[in-house]
């Protein structure tokens, strides 16, 4: 029927270059500590090789390899790989300090990049085609003689093969004959399409006896497909990066490649149970890089199994496999029912019942659906803010106790610009913020002040302190994440601002949303809903539920508070 995939190769390499090629992405800046953290996560994912960087050329990388050699991360699955060039033109590999750096890195594997496109040899390296071959042979055999396993990346291979196939193949042969275990064919400019990759890899496999690998970039949107095409044509070594990090459009996204081979071809490439950790690990790596995976990223994206259209939601209630190509649990992801204005009653009912509310009454469900649509039109989003959705439900169902009643809040910030802003660190005393809140809780009115290193900090401090007397449990509440988005982008400072706040009480995490004309207003809303939700679910610890309070006239308590 459909194309029969080949049986699983006996030895297949999953080679990660997040820390080397991936790190060339715009906006990505990794410290040595970051690299070590990512190395541990990649090892946990179970990749066979972690290309850690370019020792000698990049001082941070030299330090990284030294730390790895000292046991900073004990690898259980992966082999560490150091990356570098072929030796310099006209020098002996044995004399080239950058070649020595590969060996000195003490990584068991060296991956060296060689020119395989004649024009690059002549124009970028400015040497002869013969000298380039000598550079390949010399560097590979030298590193082998020093005890490292060697892989060779043939840079610009596909473009080179098109312009001068004989030379490109000669580079492959030379590398293999000098002892390179794998010769990796690189689509460095990323301009290939899958049928072309398939043809060229097949041609190379037929004309040489080298073990072949593939290194693809996403400039035509086909990096994953190009990688699979190379595998279909005989490659048994795939390179990529987690979350597709990399220069320009990025490298082939490694989890997508591996998940496709495991789940579609049935090839067990990762250690048993590792694929189930893929979503967690991809996001954990993103926490370190500070560049989150796209919500739409295949397999591991937050939205990649999220069902929005009301139609699909009804069908999913019948059989999840009707609308999913795999069970998201096999990659550690979730099928999410999104609450949105496309959802219709089915989604709202499912979501409500997940939260313990019976919304089977059609009119009720319709009323709530309308409310959600109205709020979303104003900029709210409930897809990422389950706690706010629950509060919305409770408000509509009149099931929300009135824990506190805020009369007013005021925020004051001042700054004393001294010089250049941040020469290289935090400004310290350059600005400080104070917030006063007046509210009533359990019948007692108070006006308190809180301070912080910024407006949201200060709002939080003030609110927490205002509620502490009535609800001691708020002492455990803390903000763990804060995200701002300017809606109506492009309208200067006249836009709507949406804030998402994640709060914890030490046991659970919850997210609330706030929308306003400015970031402070939006933050206030998300914050007070966060406290409301926290109090609601802390009832078990706080058995005397709050009832409608009377205002204690003229009763105020002024409190100063240290910065929390």
Residue numbers 12-71 binding a second copy by CB under 8 A: 23-27, 29, 31
User: Of residues 422, 543, 553, 558, which one binds a second copy by CB under 8 A?
Assistant: 422
Residue numbers 320-339 binding a second copy by CB under 8 A: 322-326, 338
Q: Which residue has the tokens 């982008």?
A: 489
Stretch that binds a second copy, among 89-97, 137-145, 353-361, 510-518 (CB under 8 A): 510-518
Kindly state the smallest distance separating residue 475's Cβ from a second copy, in Å: 16
- C-alpha closest to that of 322 among 335, 303, 339: 335
Kindly state the smallest distance separating residue 223's Cβ from a second copy, in Å: 8
Strand partners, 482: 501
Cα–Cα dist 339/276, whole Å: 26
Residue numbers 100-129 binding a second copy by CB under 8 A: 119-120, 123-124
* Beta-sheet strands, E only, within 517-562: 558-559
User: Of residues 95, 476, 481, 539, which one binds a second copy by CB under 8 A?
Assistant: 481
Q: Which helix (H) or strand (E) holds 432?
A: strand 431-441
Kindly state the smallest distance separating residue 228's Cβ from a second copy, in Å: 6
19: DSSP letter? T
Cα–Cα dist 172/201, whole Å: 12
How many residues touch a second copy under the rule CB under 8 A: the total is 151
Residue numbers 138-157 binding a second copy by CB under 8 A: none
Stretch that binds a second copy, among 62-70, 353-361, 482-490, 540-548 (CB under 8 A): 482-490
Cα–Cα dist 158/217, whole Å: 12
Neighbours of 561 (CB within 10 A): 16
Kindly state the smallest distance separating residue 353's Cβ from a second copy, in Å: 21
Stretch that binds a second copy, among 64-72, 441-449, 481-489, 537-545 (CB under 8 A): 481-489
Judge contact between 193 and 201, C-beta under 8 A.
no
* Residue (377 or 540) nearer to a second copy, CB: 377
Q: What are the structure tokens assigned to 278, written together?
A: 């893929």
Kindly state the smallest distance separating residue 518's Cβ from a second copy, in Å: 2
In SS3 terms, 263-281 reads as HCCCCCCCCCCCHHHHHHH
User: Of residues 66, 315, 330, 561, which one binds a second copy by CB under 8 A?
Assistant: 315
320: DSSP letter? G
Collapsing DSSP to helix, strand or coil, 329 comes out as helix
CA distances, 54 to each of 20, 373, 413 (Å) = 7, 52, 46
User: Of residues 6, 76, 264, 508, which one binds a second copy by CB under 8 A?
Assistant: 264
Residue numbers 285-304 binding a second copy by CB under 8 A: 287, 290, 292, 294-299, 301, 303-304
Q: What contacts 463, CB < 8 A, 6 or more positions away?
A: 437, 450, 527, 528, 531
Q: Based on the shown chain and the rule CB under 8 A, indicate whether residue 395 belongs to the binding site for a second copy.
A: yes
Residue numbers 197-256 binding a second copy by CB under 8 A: 198-200, 218-226, 228-229, 232, 244, 246-250, 253, 256
* Residue (69 or 322) nearer to a second copy, CB: 322
- Burial letters for 231-268: b for 16+ Cβ neighbours within 10 Å, e otherwise? bbbbbbbbbbbbbbbbbeebbbbbbbbbbbbbbebebe
Kindly state the smallest distance separating residue 502's Cβ from a second copy, in Å: 8
Sheet (strand 478-486) strand order: 478-486, 497-504, 509-516
474: DSSP letter? G
Kindly state the smallest distance separating residue 385's Cβ from a second copy, in Å: 12
Q: What is the CA radius of gyration of the chain?
A: 29
Residue numbers 487-506 binding a second copy by CB under 8 A: 487-490, 492-497
- C-alpha closest to that of 262 among 413, 1, 46: 46
Stretch that binds a second copy, among 177-185, 186-194, 352-360, 442-450 (CB under 8 A): 186-194
Cα–Cα dist 279/183, whole Å: 30
Judge contact between 534 and 505, C-beta under 8 A.
yes
* Residue (65 or 305) nearer to a second copy, CB: 305
* Residue (1 or 558) nearer to a second copy, CB: 1
Kindly state the smallest distance separating residue 76's Cβ from a second copy, in Å: 25
* Residue (109 or 223) nearer to a second copy, CB: 223
Q: Based on the shown chain and the rule CB under 8 A, indicate whether residue 363 belongs to the binding site for a second copy.
A: no
Q: Based on the shown chain and the rule CB under 8 A, indicate whether residue 409 belongs to the binding site for a second copy.
A: yes
User: Of residues 13, 142, 237, 307, which one binds a second copy by CB under 8 A?
Assistant: 307
User: Of residues 10, 147, 166, 318, which one binds a second copy by CB under 8 A?
Assistant: 318
Kindly state the smallest distance separating residue 486's Cβ from a second copy, in Å: 6
Residue numbers 519-538 binding a second copy by CB under 8 A: 519-521, 524-525, 528
- Burial letters for 473-494: b for 16+ Cβ neighbours within 10 Å, e otherwise? bbeebebeebeebeeeeeeeee
Q: What angle do CA 260, 265, 271 make, to 5 degrees?
A: 70
User: Of residues 13, 308, 351, 447, which one binds a second copy by CB under 8 A?
Assistant: 308
- C-alpha closest to that of 46 among 89, 12, 97: 12
User: Of residues 104, 131, 177, 341, which one binds a second copy by CB under 8 A?
Assistant: 341
Cα–Cα dist 343/337, whole Å: 9
Q: Based on the shown chain and the rule CB under 8 A, indicate whether residue 463 belongs to the binding site for a second copy.
A: no
With 0-12 CB in 10 A as exposed, 13-18 as middle and 19+ as buried, what is 131? Answer: middle
Kindly state the smallest distance separating residue 544's Cβ from a second copy, in Å: 25
* Residue (490 or 553) nearer to a second copy, CB: 490
* Residue (12 or 196) nearer to a second copy, CB: 196
* Residue (362 or 395) nearer to a second copy, CB: 395
Stretch that binds a second copy, among 76-84, 87-95, 102-110, 258-266 (CB under 8 A): 258-266
Cα–Cα dist 499/519, whole Å: 7
User: Of residues 71, 423, 543, 553, which one binds a second copy by CB under 8 A?
Assistant: 423
* Residue (446 or 528) nearer to a second copy, CB: 528
């Amino acid at each position: 029927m459909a194309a029969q995939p080949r049986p699983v190769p006996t030895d297949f390499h999953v080679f990660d270059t997040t820390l080397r090629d991936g790190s060339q992405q715009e906006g990505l800046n990794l410290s040595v500590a970051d690299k070590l953290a990512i190395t541990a996560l990649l090892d946990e994912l179970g990749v066979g090789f972690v290309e850690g960087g370019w020792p000698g050329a990049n001082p941070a990388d030299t330090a990284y390899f030294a730390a790895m050699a000292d046991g900073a991360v004990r690898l259980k699955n992966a082999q560490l790989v150091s990356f570098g060039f072929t030796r310099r033109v006209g020098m002996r590999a044995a004399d080239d300090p950058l070649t020595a750096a590969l060996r000195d890195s003490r990584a068991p594997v060296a991956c060296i990049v060689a020119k395989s496109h004649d024009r690059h040899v002549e124009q970028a390296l400015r040497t002869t085609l013969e000298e380039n071959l000598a550079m390949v042979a010399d560097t590979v055999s030298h590193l082998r003689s020093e005890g490292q396993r060697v892989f060779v990346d043939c840079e610009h291979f596909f473009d080179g093969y098109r312009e001068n196939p004989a030379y490109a193949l000669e580079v492959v042969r030379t590398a293999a004959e000098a002892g390179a275990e794998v010769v990796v064919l690189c689509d460095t400019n990323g301009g290939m399409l899958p049928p072309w990759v398939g043809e060229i890899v097949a041609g190379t496999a037929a004309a040489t006896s080298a073990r072949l690998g593939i290194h693809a970039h996403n400039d035509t949107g086909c990096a994953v497909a190009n990688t699979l095409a190379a595998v279909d044509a005989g490659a048994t070594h795939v390179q990529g990066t987690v979350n597709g990090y990399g220069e320009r459009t990025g490298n082939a996204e490694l989890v997508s490649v591996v998940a496709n081979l495991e789940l579609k071809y049935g090839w067990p490439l990762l250690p048993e149970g590792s694929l189930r950790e893929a979503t967690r690990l991809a996001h954990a790596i993103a926490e370190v890089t500070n560049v989150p995976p796209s919500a739409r990223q295949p397999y591991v994206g937050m939205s990649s199994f999220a069902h929005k259209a009301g139609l699909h939601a009804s069908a999913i209630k019948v059989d999840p496999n009707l609308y999913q190509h795999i069970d998201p649990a096999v990659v550690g992801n979730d099928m999410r029912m999104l609450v949105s204005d496309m959802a219709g009653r089915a989604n709202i009912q499912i979501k409500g019942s997940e939260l313990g509310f019976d919304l089977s009454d059609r009119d009720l469900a319709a009323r709530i659906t309308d409310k959600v649509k109205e709020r979303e039109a104003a900029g709210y989003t409930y897809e990422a803010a389950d706690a706010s959705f629950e509060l919305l439900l409770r408000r509509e169902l009149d099931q929300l106790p009135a824990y506190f009643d805020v009369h007013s809040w005021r925020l004051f910030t001042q700054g004393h610009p001294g010089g250049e802003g941040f020469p290289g660190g935090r400004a310290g005393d350059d600005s400080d913020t104070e917030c006063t809140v007046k509210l009533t809780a359990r019948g007692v009115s108070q006006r308190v002040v809180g301070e912080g290193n910024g407006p949201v900090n200060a709002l939080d401090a003030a609110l927490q302190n205002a509620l502490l007397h009535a609800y001691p449990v708020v002492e455990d509440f803390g903000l763990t994440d804060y995200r701002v988005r300017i809606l109506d982008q492009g309208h200067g400072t006249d836009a709507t601002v949406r804030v998402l706040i994640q709060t914890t009480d030490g046991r659970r995490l919850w997210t609330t949303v706030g929308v306003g004309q400015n970031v402070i207003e939006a933050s206030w809303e998300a914050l007070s809903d966060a406290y409301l939700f926290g109090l609601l679910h802390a009832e078990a610890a706080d058995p005397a539920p709050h009832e409608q309070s009377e205002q204690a006239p003229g009763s105020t308590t002024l409190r100063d508070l240290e910065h929390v």
